[in-house]
Amino acid sequence: MPSPLARARRAVRAATRAGLRSLQRDAALGNLPGFEDAWGTAHRVPGWFGETEAAVFWSVVHEVRPATVVEIGSYLGRSTTLLGLALQHADVPAARLVAIDPHTGDRQNMRALGISTIPTLDLFRIYMQAAGIGELLDVRVAPSAEVAADWHDPVDLLFVDGWHSKRGVLADARGFGPHLTDRGIVCFDDYTAYKSVRRGADLACTELGLVRYGTVAAQLWAGRPEVAPAGVVRALRVERLVSAARRLSPRR
């Protein structure tokens, strides 16, 4: 049982993290409208994608206006919902959201529960219908490497949130990274949460010659342009300010 002091420290750290994420959410959104309603829908879908991550994606979609978004790892469709609603709200012409998932279950979830498969496709389809984003969805029920083997189209925004191993992340990035356009942006989920993801993402960025912009809410943002989209830049600035404030505040 941790001591009361250790528990208090943990609570302070959690509160600081929550405060930082809320500041980053607001910084990423700036004056962009529409997010509250979209998140109100997306957060009802079970999943891991948080509000800050969603806000950064909302701003990136509105700025980059990606014609093709590839999402690797949809699960029940929380991030898919947010991405689809963002493409609709930004009114991106002929937008396509490719949602890739074998729908056999999330690695960490299955390990924690001691089971080897979680079929998610039926529920995913129900949530997608409820979100009303069907007309821009291109659902692929397969591992990313299988889809990538037959892929030829340019990709403007790639979201890597599939199998969280070094090999899995690398396979995802190697499959779709070469198709990134000159303005192509990539987000690696859970980059700071899992060493395996970090190793895979770092290697992938080096191999693909991607600029690493930095991490927001555990996700690594990278891309072909030298400068990150404005919403990412604003969220990163908050992270740096809070880190500087932490370094300056006296330790007891």
- Footprint of ligand SAM on this chain (CB under 6 A)? 47-49, 72-75, 78-79, 100-106, 120, 143-144, 161-163, 168
Return the number of the residue (72 or 128) whose C-beta is nearest ligand SAM: 72
Q: Tokens standing for 102?
A: 């074998």
Q: For 167, how many CA atoms within 13 A lie in the half-sphere containing its CB? A: 1
User: Smallest distance, Å, CB 49 to ligand SAM?
Assistant: 4
User: Smallest distance, Å, CB 79 to ligand SAM?
Assistant: 3
Backbone angles phi, psi at 245, to 5 degrees: -60, -40
Q: Tokens standing for 198?
A: 């970090």
User: Smallest distance, Å, CB 168 to ligand SAM?
Assistant: 6
Distance CA 121, CA 103 (A): 5
User: Smallest distance, Å, CB 105 to ligand SAM?
Assistant: 5
With beta carbons less than 8 A apart as the criterion, state whether 99 and 77 touch: yes
Return the number of the residue (47 or 84) whose C-beta is nearest ligand SAM: 47
Cα–Cα nearest to 127, from 37, 62, 34, 43 = 43
Return the number of the residue (169 or 210) whose C-beta is nearest ligand SAM: 169
> Measured between alpha carbons, how far is residue 129 from residues 61, 63, 88 in Å?
21, 26, 15
Return the number of the residue (156 or 189) whose C-beta is nearest ligand SAM: 189
Q: CA 215: distance to chain centroid?
A: 11
Tokens 């342009």 correspond to 225
Residue least distant from ligand SAM (Cβ): 47
Instruction: Label residue 203 exposed, middle or buried (CB < 10 Å: 0-12, 13-18, 19+).
Output: middle
Return the number of the residue (160 or 208) whose C-beta is nearest ligand SAM: 160
Return the number of the residue (53 or 239) whose C-beta is nearest ligand SAM: 53
User: Smallest distance, Å, CB 16 to ligand SAM?
Assistant: 25
Q: Where are the alpha helices (DSSP H) in the chain?
A: 4-29, 35-42, 51-64, 78-89, 107-113, 121-131, 144-148, 166-176, 195-208, 230-248
User: Smallest distance, Å, CB 162 to ligand SAM?
Assistant: 3
Count of residues making up the chain: 252
User: Smallest distance, Å, CB 173 to ligand SAM?
Assistant: 12
Return the number of the residue (62 or 78) whose C-beta is nearest ligand SAM: 78
